[in-house]
Amino acid sequence: MQEYLNKIDKDRLPEHIAVIMDGNGRWAKAHGKPRVFGHKNGVKSVREISEAAAELGVGYLTLYAFSTENWSRPALEVSALMGLLVETIRSEVSTLNKNNIRLKAIGDLSKLPKRSQNALLEGIAQTDKNTGMTLILALNYSSRWEITTTIKKIAEESKDGLIDPSDVDEAFISRRLATAEFPDPELLIRTSGEQRISNYLLWQIAYSELYFTDVFWPDFRKVHLYKALVNYQGRERRFGKTSEQL
Ligand code: IPE
Ligand code: IPE
Ligand code: MG
């Protein structure tokens, strides 16, 4: 682990890392356990990766915890996930405060069970003064929901005569997304071997580096994050230019 940590250039860290935490169910199956066992163990990875990212000095970490599509799962799994969310937030607030981490959330939170909403809002309020890393949970989130909501907002503003078509540029749109306060992620990590985006941050990852690993989320540890960062730092981000221009 130290070997990878030593290779990380602290001056070239991504300011924002986004993660698609995937593979809890397959991890549980491989251990002969029900899917929920995988989700419970996934919480340990959340704790470890949040701490590792904060220690390194990453500014923002966004974790995909529940997509709008995940409502299609068996009702028992959905309610277990919602219960786990409440438990986890309540039990982790003190650790978040210890690590100076500020909790935030993106997604259609109004559709979450009241108990989950309350736990989330409490967690956000109780960590609001922290000045270190911002940990953003994507909950009942999907990118198309976000973009649709944003366009609706813009249409309302336009109807009310508050804006003019000439006002609309990329920054204007970014300011109206759920992620308005956060920079775009430079790095997107997806675990479990799947190589797709699953409706996550489509606008924001326009120029992100994508990193896929076969490791299931409950097995994802600090060393795996360090490996991803070393890999990221070995890439040349050209943004349309030639190598010579950089
Ligand atoms: C990710 O693991 C957690 C959530 C989507 C909530 P999965 O539950 O998707 O695990 P797999 O992909 O079925 O293995
Ligand atoms: C994406 O994982 C959503 C989260 C990690 C919360 P899924 O497991 O739901 O994605 P698909 O269905 O395999 O694309
Ligand atoms: Mg999955």
pLDDT in tens, 23-66: 999 999 999 999 999 999 999 999 999 999 999 999 999 999 99
Which tens digits make up the pLDDT trace of 175-195?
999 999 999 999 999 999 999
Q: Assign domain 2-233 to its CATH architecture.
A: 3-Layer(aba) Sandwich (3.40)
Q: How far apart are CA 41 and CA 45, in angstroms?
A: 7
The protein residues having their C-beta less than 5 angstroms from ligand 3 (an ion) are 22
Q: What is the pLDDT of residue 1?
A: 83
List C-alpha distances in Å: 231 to 5, 126, 146, 242.
Answer: 12, 35, 30, 21
The strand order across the sheet containing 16-20 reads 102-106, 134-141, 60-67, 16-20, 187-190, 209-212
User: Which atom belonging to ligand 1 lies closest to the Cα atom of 65?
Assistant: 6
Treating both helix axes as pointing N-terminal to C-terminal, what angle do 114-126 and 75-98 enclose, rounded to 10 degrees?
10
Considering the candidates 6, 22, 167, 169, report the single residue annotated as catalytic.
22
Read off the tokens for 32: 């002969």
Instruction: Give the span between the Cα atoms of 61 and 46, in whole angstroms.
Output: 10
pLDDT per residue as tens digits for the range 83-127: 999 999 999 999 999 999 999 999 999 999 999 999 999 999 999
**Distance, CA 24 to ligand 1 centroid (Å)?**
5
pLDDT > 90? residue 205: yes
The string of pLDDT tens digits covering residues 135-148 is 999 999 999 999 99
Region 200-229 average pLDDT: 98
118 is catalytic: no
User: What is the value of pTM for the model shown?
Assistant: 0.97
Determine contact, residues 151/145, Cβ cutoff 8 Å. no
Contact present, 14 and 187 (Cβ < 8 Å): yes
Mean pLDDT value across the chain: 97
Task: Identify the H or E element spanning 141.
Answer: strand 134-141
Element (DSSP H or E) covering residue 44: helix 35-56
Q: How far apart are the first and last CA of the chain?
A: 31
* Given 6, 24, 41, 70, the catalytic residue: 70
| Domain spans in the chain, listed from the N-terminal domain onward | 2-233
φ/ψ (deg, to 5) at 162: -85, -20
Beta-carbon count within 10 A of 14 CB: 23
